[in-house]
Chains A and B, each alone.
Chain A
Amino acid sequence: MRKPAVRRSGGRAGAGVGAGGKSRGTRVRLVELAHARSGDKGDTANVGLIALKPEYYPLLVKQVTAARVARHFKGMITGKVERYELPNLHALNFLLHGALDGGGTISLKTDAQGKVFSTALLRLEVEVSR
């Protein structure tokens, strides 16, 4: 697996992520640390977030909280976010309620089945120490 290509924080350090927002770590997008697949159950989208390497998993557990994900998807979902842990697969499962304009056949959205909420989550920035 390729080494994560880090993006420097560019003056955005302290935006409230990671260790209390005061760390001098580097911010990277989740796409450098994880992969994901998403799908639907009615009006709920699920996103399975999987660490690209087992050693990244604790960072996901710590930083990619349900509250953080709810903020990330603000304006895109109307319900709450639930998170489940699968340490055996180095994965987290998120349920995004009210994500699909009613879901299934009712939905008017292009992504009526929540297929690309996966990569939308991978835009989230987390903090890694160097």
Chain B
Amino acid sequence: MSPQRGARTVRIAGGQGFWGDWLEAPYRQVTGGPVDYLMMDYLAEVTMSILQKQKSRDPSLGYAKDFIPLMQRILPVLAERGIKVTANAGGVNPRGCAQAVAEAARGLRLSGKLRIGVVTGDDLLGRIDGLLARGHELRNLDTGRPLSDVRDRVLSANAYLGAWPVVEALRGGAHVVITGRVTDTGLTLAPMIHAFDWPADAWDLLAAGTVAGHTIECGAQCSGGNCLVDWERIPDLANVGYPIVEAAPDGTFDIVKHPGTGGRISVAGVTEQLVYEMGNPAEYITPDCIADFTTIRLAQAGKDRVRVSGVRGRPATDKLKVSVAYFYGYKAVGTLVYAWPDAYKKAQAADRILRQRLADLGLKFEAIVTEFVGADATHGPLARASAPLAELPEVQLRIGVRAVDPAPVERFTREIAPLILNGPPSVTGFAGGRPKPEEIVAYWPALLDKRMVEPCVEYVDV
């Protein structure tokens, strides 16, 4: 803790940037030095629909299953050190997730020592028809289409809740708060509101906590991971330290990491994370406030310590964002690798042949996308303009198709392998076998009147 900032700081550690992030990170965060809270973000945009599908097969599921063994591993440390957890691992079944954690805690003989807070109220799947009937159209924020267009294909629908129900759970004495669709930023803001008793209309403070949340919500992406500046000299990424917000009551905070860990906390790296997935920077809208990212001040306050100050905020809107997942159709991606000489030309020829065969079969696709990995898959025509195309040692032909119906996609998957023997030469890399058609579950962002959503907090005492 930085001595000049006094004892009233709160340390919130980021432990997971997404479901699938480094399993070691949360353990290292709670054992590597002092922290007060461990924050873990599990829910990407379409994760909810995957969890909904799991829940429909088994009503006890529908949450981030990895969370349970992780909690089993760290619960003794949490109990010993008094570290609290905020996590949206509950997915579409926060109660089921809490029960599973409670069971793990009993197995660790933590009975009588653990109170789990459960935040629900975000799940709108059973309420869609009622909302539509009452004139809430849930229009797609990108396309403007009303949800009624895809009503029969909706798989999940969740409102993004903010920090306040998590605050309520912490005030109620919860050691671990498990939520459904709570915003990533809310999971970090809530401990700050709770610790400093920030009022609900302290917009600058709420915005500061929101910026803190945005900074650590992608885990090590602000502490040296995926950082372009000086990337080869960022030390010891094998032991990268995940970020910790060291927050003060006045809304300033430092981004730090545990001593002895790898990575780097620099103004450059934090800035990269601040602009990540940014829209209008003056209007970063959450359920809790509107944060103005053009007011953020950053300073290197020490080695691996960036100070954030000056954040201004404005009142929250009267809407909540809603994330709807719906069944869209099918897709498949096939690949083949062509070798020198003329690797690129061979891959191009194979693409032409394949497309002609698909056309001759009368197959109808919504899209066919061809990429030449090694030549243009990442930077498109910008890369082709300067790449030594004639001398490339190898090129992977990567061709994807998408259709509403499964039949053309299924047939497409059978048209890749024949090219090995009946197409251009020097081809390999097909050991993975025939590609598999995949169901596409698509994301439908919408807004809903805040008054239509009632967050609910309950407790499981172990």
Contacts and interface: CB of A to CB of B under 8 A. Distances in A.
A26 interface: no
A88 B292 CA distance: 11
Interface in B226-282: 226, 228-229, 268, 271-282
Interface string A36-56: 111111111010101010000
Contacts of A110: 371, 373, 377-378, 398
Contact of A35 (B272, B274, B379): B272
A103 to B, nearest CB: 8
Contacts of B380: 75-76, 120
B398 A42 contact: no
B333 interface: yes
Contact of A109 (B278, B294, B371, B383): B371
A52 B228 CA distance: 11
A93 B275 contact: yes
Interface in A5-60: 35-44, 46, 48, 50, 52
Between A41, A101, A106, the greatest number of chain B beta carbons within 10 A of the residue's beta carbon is seen for A106
B462 interface: no
B275 A35 contact: no
A80 interface: no
A123 B382 CA distance: 8
A48 B284 CA distance: 15
A84 B280 contact: yes
Given A46-B279, A50-B275, A105 B142 contact: no
A111 B443 CA distance: 17
Nearest to A110: B377
Interface in A69-112: 72-76, 84-91, 93, 95, 101-106, 108-111
B400 interface: yes
A118 to B, nearest CB: 7
Contact of A105 (B226, B298, B441): B441
Contacts of A123: 379, 382
Nearest to A106: B442
B369 A40 contact: no
Interface string B290-306: 00011111100000000
Contact of B379 (A37, A95, A119): A119
A46 B382 contact: no
Contacts of B379: 116, 119-120, 123
Interface residues of A, number: 44
A37 B381 CA distance: 20
Contacts of B443: 42, 103-105
A106 B371 contact: no
Given A37-B228, A75-B380, A105-B443, A46 B277 contact: yes
A43 B45 CA distance: 13
B382 A72 contact: yes
Given A42-B445, A50-B271, A93-B281, A104 B378 contact: no
Nearest to B267: A89
Between A36, A40, A85, A105, the greatest number of chain B beta carbons within 10 A of the residue's beta carbon is seen for A105
A73 B229 CA distance: 23
B124 interface: no
Contacts of B307: none
Nearest to A50: B271
Interface string B402-413: 100000000000
Nearest to B296: A88
Given A72-B382, A120-B378, A36 B46 contact: no
A108 B367 contact: yes
B181 interface: no
A39 B214 CA distance: 14
B331 interface: yes
B268 A104 contact: no
A6 B146 CA distance: 52
A87 B294 contact: yes
B275 A108 contact: no
Contacts of B333: 108
A88 B294 contact: yes
B228 A118 contact: yes
B324 interface: no
Contacts of B294: 85-88
B424 to A, nearest CB: 21
Contacts of B272: 35-37, 48, 50
Nearest to B331: A108
Given A43-B142, A72-B382, A106-B402, A50 B268 contact: yes
A124 to B, nearest CB: 9
Contact of B276 (A37, A86, A89, A101): A37
Contacts of A116: 378-379
Q: When A and B form their complex, which 8 residue pairs have the shortest distance between CB atoms, in order from nearest?
A: A48-B275, A108-B400, A39-B277, A108-B369, A37-B272, A35-B228, A110-B377, A120-B379
Interface of A: 35-44, 46, 48, 50, 52, 72-76, 84-91, 93, 95, 101-106, 108-111, 116, 118-120, 123
Interface of B: 45-46, 141-142, 226, 228-229, 268, 271-282, 293-298, 310, 328, 331, 333, 367-369, 371, 373, 377-383, 398, 400-402, 440-443, 445
